[in-house]
Structure 1
Amino acid sequence: MRAIDVMTTQVILARPEMTVHEAAKMLVDHDISGMPVVDAEGRLAGMITEGDLLHRMEIGTQMKRRGRLSEFFTSTRELAREYVKENSPRLSEVMTADVVTAKEDTPLAEIAEMMDRHRIKHVPVVRDGKVVGLVSRANLIRVLASIGPDLHHSVAPSDAEVRQAILTELGGNRWALPSQNVIVTNGVAHLWGVIKSEEEREAIRVAAKNVPGVKDVICHLVYPSIPLY
């Protein structure tokens, strides 16, 4: 799926000349946690979110001042930026100007990776510099909730096909099992081998369980034996 398949198209937009208080009221009135900021021509200028308004002098939530040593190693540029963000009434000085964006044909997997890497909850979708939609974490969760529980093929795959699919899913991971340690009988996957942690056991089990056609997973996974001398 792509951004255009899940994005919100009726996007609430803010303007750079607005005040912080006006922007905060818009977030509350529309029950949203973030919105793009666009200029007079409708081009994306920034993004304002709850996180940008979390630390404000009006409500006494400014960032705790650093100790002398920490402040010494913090650039005056960063200190000045923090002060403006906490005290300026102008939205243009508080919003995030360097915005991570997507296109209408951007795959959802790529958007999810953007959110994770940049620690953001919203990705504006732009066309020719103008906002045409917005993808939020909530949009992605709705897609997940809309997927039916049964994703099996209309024709049940053979044991050999299921086994190959499990090996493909495991392949490339350092914790993967050797191919000879995966056996599938009547749709039941038997996993044999040596593991180093319960996390490895769970990852191997989940990888097999998620393969279409697997009816059950039986783990015969053990820890390395300790030789006795």
Structure 2
Amino acid sequence: MIIAFFLTPKQDVIWLSEEATMRQALEKMEYHRYSAIPLIDEEGRYTGTITEGDLLWKLKNTKGLKFENTNRIMITEVPQHMNNKVVRINEKIDSLIDLAKTQNFVPVVDDNGVFIGIVKRGDIIEYCAQLINARGEN
């Protein structure tokens, strides 16, 4: 089975442009109730993942920074503490299992490195549960 089977396409993924501000990230995370969001550059390439923790550490460690002025901080100025690894769309499902242990989602790119979507940890777990149930190993 290939990764494309599990893909949530880019148009259905909440992501941020690298041109976004810290305020936009905070508001998008709050609205969608996500703890991490992929970052995409102007060429459509995945460049990283911004997390709630990244935003909190930036707020804590930047003198004078308050929620009211987070619109002045570009998302690229927020250090990322998580390094989500990507997979290519034509890889097999096996490459997702190890990544899903430490990542909420796995970014998926095409052969040119362009972001095309994600595979959610929950979808991987559901697939594994179905395999176990099909074998009768409860």
Same topology, TM > 0.5: yes
**Corresponding pairs, count:** 125
- Residues 93 and 112 from structure 1, CA distance in 2 versus in 1: closer, same or farther, beyond 3 angstroms? farther
Higher relative contact order (CA 8 A, sep 6+): 2
- Does the 8 Å contact 1:46/1:95 carry over to 2? no
Structure 2 gap segments, 5+ residues each: none
Point out the structure with max Rg over C-alpha.
1
Stretches of 4+ moved more than 6 A in 1? none
Aligned equivalents of 1:49, 1:146: Cα separation in 2: 30
The aligned counterpart of 2:74 is 90
1:131, distance to aligned residue in structure 2 (A)? 0.8
Aligned equivalents of 1:8, 1:22: Cα separation in 2: 22
1:28 match: secondary structure = helix
Percent pairwise identity = 27
2:37 aligns with one of 21, 25, 35:
35
Q: CA RMSD in A?
A: 2.7
Aligned equivalents of 1:38, 1:48: Cα separation in 2: 11
Q: Does 1:5 align with 2:5?
A: yes
The aligned counterpart of 1:169 is none
Structure 1 gap segments, 5+ residues each: 63-82, 153-209, 211-229
TM-score normalized with structure 1 length: 0.46
Aligned equivalents of 2:78, 2:53: Cα separation in 1: 11
- Residues 146 and 24 from structure 1, CA distance in 2 versus in 1: closer, same or farther, beyond 3 angstroms? farther
Q: Does 1:132 align with 2:134?
A: no
TM-score normalized with structure 2 length: 0.71
Aligned equivalents of 1:30, 1:40: Cα separation in 2: 23
Aligned equivalents of 2:105, 2:75: Cα separation in 1: 18
